[in-house]
Structure 1
Amino acid sequence: MAILAVNAGSSSLKFSIYPIAEGQVLPNVLTGNIEGLEPGGAPVLGWTFQGKQLQRQLPLTGGDPFEQALHSLGELLTSEAAIPKIDAIAHRVVHGGKDFSASVLVTPEVLACLTLKISLAPLHQPNNLQGIRAFQKAFPSLPQVACFDTAFHSTMAEVDYTFALPTSLTALGVRRYGFHGLSYQYVMGVLQKRSAQGNGRVLMAHLGNGASLCAAREGRSCATTMGFSALDGLVMGTRCGTLDPGVMLYLLEQGWDHAQLQTLLYKQSGLLGVSGISADMRRLRADDSADAKRAIDLFTHRVVRESGALVATMGGLDVLGFSGGIGEHDVVLRAELGQRLSWLGVKIDSELNQQATGNEVMAIHQPDSLVEVWVVPTDEGFVAAQDASRLI
């Protein structure tokens, strides 16, 4: 058996194949990405298999670029005998709302319910669902499984997920959900295996273009920085993070409409908005301008501030884990966060920190650090494959 885990975006499709042996999901044997799927784009299929990185320009047929991409993917999956036969497809779906607290087999009823949640994650949900429908059409004989970024946080207590709004709104599902759950579930599993304190008070930092923190005890999420939508919490690449709702009321009074507000919050804010330069932390690190520094400083400050809040909910800290593109690769950020959280007993070893480049799981704390610090390259597809394997 093998599971194909996919993550459909607006212009790209990421995929990985995870073999299953004796009921256990094994590390992926093939990973890839199809880019250029936007209208008028030039689709390119790239993949890594048996240590080789390969690439293929996809033909432009004038039809649906996503359908063409899946046709090419299907050809790839059957091109070599060494590629495992696929038994199910696991889809990352950002928002399960109050209806889904665990992965599910996709049925027409499930798809209809998820469609109603598009407004909760307008940047991600439509693409996730488009991916499911396209795969159903391209691979009609294979089970499709929806795996939710919100599911890991279903263990939060009511006091952690409730907004101070009328109960009539809470009953409609207006509450904190949390995201990056597939990543946190993977990181939590690694820490429980590798860290002596992995079942204690753990703070996980998924830092990338989307960024959040998660507090966990005994392997279960108890608080997180993202909320009803993926806008809340930390500064992100193009998203604003926590914002006084009065700002939105003010902009409405100034004549802004829904489309303008949505574009502002999701696409024009965050590192890009503050710096005016880029949403990419690597680009900002290479820029010595005051604007770039201001954006980096704000990003770092908000991680520190929210870390303190989540540590307070746990009553202390035993393990700090970094993941995501920035968390796994930004040595400077990890060092600065370690220094600013030193009051908790965090002591990062500078040499180990330099060596941690996101290629492997590494502990980067000093021997006398009261808090273990780990860099864990995340693998959301592995978690999705595990869930799909259990369901089928």
Structure 2
Amino acid sequence: MKILVLNAGSSSIKYQVFGMEAQQVLVGGLIDRIGEAGSEMASHQDALARIIRHLQAAGITDIQAIGHRVVHGGEHFKQPALIDAEVIATIRAMIPLAPLHNPANLQGIEVAQRLFPGVPQVAVFDTAFHQTMPPVAFRYALPAELYTEYRVRRYGFHGTSHHYVAQQAAAYLQRDLADLNLITLHLGNGCSAAAIAKGHSVDTSMGMTPLEGLVMGTRCGDIDPALHFYLQRETGLSPNDVETLLNKKSGLKGLCGVGDMREVQTLADTGDTDAQLAEAMFAYRVKKYVGAYIAVLGRVDAVIFTGGIGEHSARIRAQVCANLQVFGIYPDPAKNAPHGTGILEFQQEAATLKLLVIPTNEELEIARSTEQQLLLRRN
């Protein structure tokens, strides 16, 4: 079976075709600057038409299913869903919860339906994996009607990545996922942590939006909610200005001027004190969540690092794991080194709590989920 995976953004489409027998990428790519001045791609339809031409040139004409990444499924979707009119209407209803993402995801779905008539399509939601969180974790301490009427609650994101690396950890450790308690750390431009008990997410650092939680490339993460009022009152910023500030001008970029951890560390190595603080704050916040999730889970079998920073920055991993021996975390500096592809295990020999680096593959997880939905439909 050949499955096309689409990740449609407001001005880009990332795509990969998987041959599911070997679960390998047959062809893939990225089209960006859609709709921008001077771009050949005036619309998502133009971009998807180019993707079709690319697939045809590669000899791929028999796409049997399409999997779409959809950021927000609210409380409606606890698992991937075969796309029909009702699913599309529900995704559209979720736009107020994800105004930057769901409209673009919908565009990708609707264009794909026009250009691939009759091909079954599946929506895979970033939020679905975290729908197993209990109310004690997902509710905010706000008036109850804000939850019952406006669905104000914590949803969590990066669920596809957290689920994928948890499954990979179980396979690597030769354990049933239902027997494992894991802490997964997705650290990239966007960052989130998850506490996974017996294969189910029971807590995660992102909240109603992806702004809550860890320090990120341009997002602030956890802050005092009264800061919004202070900034509007003292600086004259509008609500939209504050939203832009916290989402696009904060995090690492706000602290030291650059949002890419590689650039932050390069500056830190030159003695730049702002960059040194940014790196230290990033690791400190992750460390706090590790400690919190050990308290939530009680027993932890492994801490897993993934995402661009989690997979490639040995020194961030070292800072996060430092001085956590009281929790059974004993990193081995010699093992915690830059490595190629595959899984890295870097705890000391006698340690029982595993420290793992597992490359994430959200596109493959979307392809697997799409295939599973088709099999369920046939049965």
TM-score for the superposition, normalised by structure 1: 0.89
In structure 1, the partner of 2:221 is 241
- Of 178, 187, 194, which aligns to 2:156? 178
Shift of 1:33: 1.7
1:209 maps to 2:206: no
In structure 2, the partner of 1:118 is 95
SS in 1 for 2:208: coil
Higher mean Cα deviation, 340-349 or 160-169? Answer: 340-349
Higher mean Cα deviation, 314-323 or 339-348? Answer: 339-348
Taking the aligned partners of 1:126 and 1:72, their CA distance within structure 2 comes to: 21
In structure 2, the partner of 1:257 is 238
Structure 2 CA distance for partners of 1:76 and 1:380, relative to 1, 3 Å: same
Contact 1:328/1:377 (8 A) holds in 2:
yes
SS in 1 for 2:335: helix
Q: Superposed, which structure 2 residues align to 1:131-142 within 5 Å? A: 131-142=108-119
Taking the aligned partners of 2:12 and 2:169, their CA distance within structure 1 comes to: 30
Shift of 1:41: 5.2
1:310 maps to 2:259: no
Shift of 1:91: 0.8
SS in 2 for 1:202: strand
SS in 1 for 2:20: strand
- Of 325, 337, 341, which aligns to 2:308? 325
Contact 1:16/1:30 (8 A) holds in 2:
yes
Taking the aligned partners of 2:37 and 2:336, their CA distance within structure 1 comes to: 43
Taking the aligned partners of 1:261 and 1:297, their CA distance within structure 2 comes to: 25
Q: Superposed, which structure 2 residues align to 1:140-219 within 5 Å? A: 140-172=117-149, 173-195=151-173, 199-219=179-199
SS in 1 for 2:15: strand
- Of 258, 269, 275, which aligns to 2:250? 269
Q: 1:236-283, CA deviations, whole angstroms, 9 ceiling, x for partnerless residues?
A: 1111111111111223334432321221121111111111x2110011
The aligned length equals: 367
**Counterpart residue type for residue 323 of structure 1:** T
**Percent of aligned pairs with the same amino acid:** 39
- Of 305, 308, 318, which aligns to 1:335? 318
Structure 2 CA distance for partners of 1:168 and 1:353, relative to 1, 3 Å: same
TM-score for the superposition, normalised by structure 2: 0.91
- Of 48, 57, 62, which aligns to 1:85? 62
In structure 2, the partner of 1:57 is none
Contact 1:204/1:215 (8 A) holds in 2:
yes
Structure 2 CA distance for partners of 1:163 and 1:30, relative to 1, 3 Å: same
Shift of 1:75: 0.9
Taking the aligned partners of 1:246 and 1:170, their CA distance within structure 2 comes to: 20
In structure 2, the partner of 1:14 is 14
Contact 2:170/2:180 (8 A) holds in 1:
no
In structure 2, the partner of 1:76 is 54
Higher mean Cα deviation, 123-132 or 313-322? Answer: 123-132
In structure 2, the partner of 1:52 is none
Structure 2 CA distance for partners of 1:204 and 1:77, relative to 1, 3 Å: same
Contact 2:214/2:285 (8 A) holds in 1:
yes
**Counterpart residue type for residue 359 of structure 2:** P
In structure 2, the partner of 1:282 is 262
SS in 1 for 2:68: strand
SS in 2 for 1:137: helix
Shift of 1:38: 4.6
In structure 2, the partner of 1:34 is 31
Taking the aligned partners of 2:95 and 2:247, their CA distance within structure 1 comes to: 14
Taking the aligned partners of 1:107 and 1:181, their CA distance within structure 2 comes to: 22
Higher mean Cα deviation, 143-152 or 33-42? Answer: 33-42
Q: 1:176-202, CA deviations, whole angstroms, 9 ceiling, x for partnerless residues?
A: 111100001110110111125663221
**Counterpart residue type for residue 306 of structure 1:** Y
Taking the aligned partners of 1:323 and 1:38, their CA distance within structure 2 comes to: 32
Taking the aligned partners of 1:165 and 1:318, their CA distance within structure 2 comes to: 34
Structure 2 CA distance for partners of 1:335 and 1:152, relative to 1, 3 Å: same
Contact 1:11/1:36 (8 A) holds in 2:
yes
Q: Which runs of no fewer than 5 residues in structure 1 stay unpaired? A: 43-59
**Counterpart residue type for residue 203 of structure 2:** A
In structure 1, the partner of 2:5 is 5
1:66 maps to 2:34: no
Q: Which runs of no fewer than 5 residues in structure 2 stay unpaired? A: 375-379
**Counterpart residue type for residue 259 of structure 1:** N
